Structures are given as C-alpha cells and as structure tokens.
Chain A
Amino acid sequence: MNVLEGRQAAVRAGDTLCFVAFPPGETGGLPDPGMPAGGTANIDVIGAGHYSIPAGGRVFHRFDKAGAFVVRGEYRRPDGTSETGSMGVKVSELRLGGDLAAWEGKPRAWHCPRLPDGVVLEADPCFGLDGSLAARPGGATYDLLVDAAEDRFILARLGSHGPVLASMAVHGLNIAGVSESGAYYTGEYPDGSRLVQTAVAPSRILNDVRIEMQIIVGGVMFDDGTLVRVLRAGDFDDTRLARVNFIMPPGALTSNCHVMRAYQDLACLGEY
C-alpha cells in the first residue's frame, strides 16, 4: 500500500501489510525501477516501527496487536525535495469463543462477544443463524440451532466477503434416550424391587458435554440410591452407549420417569 495515497486499511491481528512511499502519479503508484536514483523513503508505523529504505523499496510490517494505527510516509527525492502522507490501519482481533456443542433441533444460548465495527457474521446456511446477526455489534445472546448431528460453522469476516477474522465450530449431536432405547426389566430382587435398564446413546462423545438425568417420580432411584445421574464422556463404551440402571421399589406403579438434560459447562443444550 502506498502510504502517500492516504487510504484506510482494515486487517486482522497477525496480518502483514506491504508499504511503499511514493508520490502518486510519479510512477503510476508502484515502485518503478526507473525512478530517480538516490532518493529515500521513510515509513513510520507510529508506535510500532520505523523504516528508512531506498526509494522504490518495500516495507513489510506485521501488525501483531489490535488497534488503530497511523502510518506516515515520506518520499525524499535526491534533490532534497520531499512529499509526505499518511494512512490509517485498523487492526481487528476477535475470538468468538471455544467450540460449542448443540443438540440437534434444540436451541441453545450462545453469547456472541462484541463485534468490531464492520465485522459480519456468517453461518452455514442450514444453521440457525443468518446475516441479521451483523446488526447486533454490541454483543448479544443468540439461540443457536443445528439442523443435524454434524459440525456447523460460524465465521466472522472483516466486511462482507472479507477475510475471516474468527471462526467457531458448533458440534451438532443427538442424544438417544429411553424413547429410542426402550426400558427393560432385567431382574426382580427378593424384596420385590425391580431393576430396570435403559440406555443413553449420544451420536458423538464430546469431552466437555455431560448429560444429567433426574428422576421425577416418587420412589424410583438410580442403582446407587440417588435421584440424579451424571454421564460424562468416560461413562460411555466404545459404541457410545451408557447403560443406566433404575431400581423400582415395591409399590412403584409408574415407569422410570426422568428428564435428561445435556450441558456444556453451564449452558444447557436441551432437555429430553
């Protein structure tokens, strides 16, 4: 970019820009081997670097940090005359957050961080996000909805069709529970209580997703005597299946009624 042309640039942290300093029109805007010899160019990325090079040379400067930078340039001819100019460089940095999990067909909350000016969100077309999100630059909570138990992606671009500033994967999953697996009497104990087994089978195992089952009917318990069972990644076998045992005490007339919720950290992915 020719600093003397006074343009504005928007780049991502970590991007490198190539600067020249040359009077517009004198060489058609590009360093020209035929330019007068002996001139010099000074390019000052204020606060970040100063470069003095032979006229016609190029400076490659990497912007490591986000912020608004001013780049000043000076072209000094061999006869001592000079021309100066400056340009602005806006360096953006954004982290959308770690990868998310979402339960197919169940909206989950996602807090989108504040978006730098000009940043546009894009999402897979079959994903429950659309371009209207870009109109909420101040940070907001949205419902994410995956349409299938597959990965979906969100991109943050520097302007429409611009470079990708940040990206985030949303790992869609499905969780089969008692409705799909069935519930089986597997035994009756001498005291008359019955052991009932059902299965929980996520379509994929994600290390930071846990499944909480809570019994909602009187008398029924998990086989450790409790009302709540938490299933984590390590509780599933190689076929992604966890067998869950319920004890139905004598006199229990209903089924092993329970609710099943999935969580990623504090975020609830849905209820079954």
Chain B
Amino acid sequence: MNESRAGFIERWMPRTIASRLYLILSVGLLLAYGLSFGLLFYERYVAAMSLMLDTLERDIATSVAVLDRLPAAERGDWLTRLQRGNYRYILGPGETDGPLVSGRAQRVTRLIGEALGERFSVHGNTTSTTPERYQVHLTLSDGQPLTIEITPGAAPVAQWLPVVLVVQLGVLLLCTWAAVRLTTRPLARLADAAASLNPSAGGQHLQEGGPVEVAKAVSAFNAMQDRIADHLAERLRILAAISHDLQTPLTRMTLRTEGMDESHERDKLLGDLDEMQHLVREGVAYARSAHSASEPPRRVDPDAFLDSLVLDYQDAGKAVTMAGRVGAPVMTRPHALRRVLGNLVDNAIKYAGAAELRIDGGHGRPVSIAVLDRGPGIPDDELDAVMQPFYRLEASRNRGTGGAGLGLAIAQQLTLSIGGSLELRNREGGGLQVTLTIEGRDG
C-alpha cells in the first residue's frame, strides 16, 4: 500500500523539490481561494436576493397602489419615477405569450401577487431567457393593464472583486516562489559542493550564512569535509610511515640475500623482496596521489610531452607507439599527467606487451589521450571496480601478473586531481582502451 503510494507520487509528482513545492502550494492556494470565493459569492447572492425580494415586495405594492390611485392621464409621467434598477413599469398589456421559465421568476411573481393582495390578479411570463427578462401583468382598478418588466441583475458582486482575488493569488504565488527558492537554493549549493568534494585539494569550505537550518547543514558539511581530509591525511601518514619503516629492513634483507651463495632459494627470496618493494612503493604512491594537488598547473606542449614519454619507453626497449597531434599548448599538471600515462602504459605493456597512444583535441576542445592495447581486456562488469585500490581481476589474483592493484587507482586519483576524467572500455577485436580527457583550455 505504502509502496504503491510512493510509486504514485514518484510517477506523478515533478522531479524537483522546487516544482513539487510549487505544485502543492499553488494547488492548495487555488483550492482555498476558489472555496472562499465561492462561499463569498453564495453568501452575497443570498443576502442580495432576500434584500431585493424584500424591497421589491414593498416597492411594487406601493407603486401599484400609487398608480392605481392616479388618474389615468398622469400615470405616464410617474412611470419613470417609480422604476428601479432592475424593474420598470409599462402601461399596457406587454407581451403575454409563454410561461414563466425560471423558479426565481415564479417566486418573484408569487411574491408580487401576495404583496398586492386580493385586489389584483397577477400572472407572469418570460420574454427573454438570455439575459433573463420577464413580465408580470395585472389590471388596475379602472381596467387599464399594467406590466412590470423585471430584469434580474447580474451577480450581485462588485466588478473589482475577481480582480482583487487574482491579484492576491498572484502575490501569494510570487511569495511561494520566493520561499521555495529560498529553501531549495542552499540545498542545491550544498549538493554542488558535495558533488565537487575533493578533500585532498584542501577542501574549500562553504560559506556558513543564511537561515539557521541552512547554516547548520553547511557547518555540518564543512565539518564532514574536514574529517574526510583528516582521514585522508592520516591514511597517507600511516602508509608513508609503514613504507618508510619497511625500507631499512628491506634493504638489509636484500643486501643479506645478495650475499648468500648462488642458489634457487636465493633467487626466489630476491623475487619476493622485489615484490614487497614494489608493493611498498605503490602504496606510498597511492597515498600521495590523493595529495598531489600541490603541483601548479603549467602550459605544456602536449605533443612534446607524449613524444618524450613514448621515446623513454622505446629507449627502454618497450613497444610503445604514438599517433595524432594537438599542436597547441594546454594547461595541466605535467608531473601528475606523466604519472597517469606512465601507469596506463605500464599496464598495457604488462598485459599486452605493447601499447599505442593516440592524442586528439586541443584548440579549445578537450584533449583526449587514449592508451590502447590488444591484451585480454577487462570484463565489462568489472570496468568500474578496477579503479578501486587493491582491486585485482579474478584471473590475475596470483601476484605473478597481478601487481599491487594500485596502478589504475593511482591513475584515477591523479586524473581527478588534474581535473580530468578516465574512461575504460573494451575494444572491438579485443584489448583495452583507456581514455584520459583533460580540459583543452589553451595556455
């Protein structure tokens, strides 16, 4: 039951809080206004009606008595003096065809008949339905026919009333809009801040202003940001401390092992030590990658940058090639960028034995650098997970090829810190393509 209601709300309500509030408040206001307007209208109508009937009754009785007493020749002069806003007197039979159509007309006719008493017999008929008009006929005592033509007034409500109502409604809707905006704006600001949260970048604090509730939420957010930054700093300290303290015993172990006589065991020990060293280095590198925002952005020639990177690999005898050209400088953090690309290329070499780099963009467009290989790729459902630190694909769990599982995590962290994005996807025909995109702001 509850679920279906929630589903209903989700389906039929607008998506944003702002429009939901608008909708609820506007519908409520419209209903309330409609009701009170209707009530007012009805009340006024009833009051006016009974007042009108009251005066009509007395007025007409008096007028008819006066006309009846006047000599027939003078009656014409009095007619205009006796007439009122919604009825007038006609000396003559008038139009006598047809019945009385509306209940109100019948009631008025009956009332007139009662007011005039036994002396006059009265009958009425409707002459026009829109606008409603009807005539009540009677015969004065000297035999002259007299007709009372009644034109019931329009709604007994002042013309300006609806205008005032509309204006009021408008003012209220405007207030609603302001209130909703006031409420949702800080929320949006908070959401933006949370989305762009990067505690390693020193975490810019939101300004703690505005209404108490908002200020509270903002200060809670800022405190949370500080806590995250503290945690990150602590993580870095711990990782750095552990790895640093491991250096000396590892060095000793390496030297001691090297001093041993040549044997299979010795080679194995050296291999293990090598792996441990690798793990320690990667761990520190990862911890640092979260704090790498200190490097200032520079104008960098992306072509020379990639070219030198590729040449370094080629000089080391690795099969790394490059295609594409940008031809315009970009603003970026060269050290971090180099580390990211280094990790990606290292990965490609590790799993595929070769890597191909493609660069594109620039001249105001984002620069994208793709690292492609023809290795085994990554199962589609693990593409996101491999960016997590210490995540290794099931197939490479044995450390022979698996490494520390930090290469991509470091690349991802650093990419974020230079304001870029990293996208992994499997290539058609096998292999992995990792695309690094950085803002193409000209230097």
The answer on A and B forming one complex is no
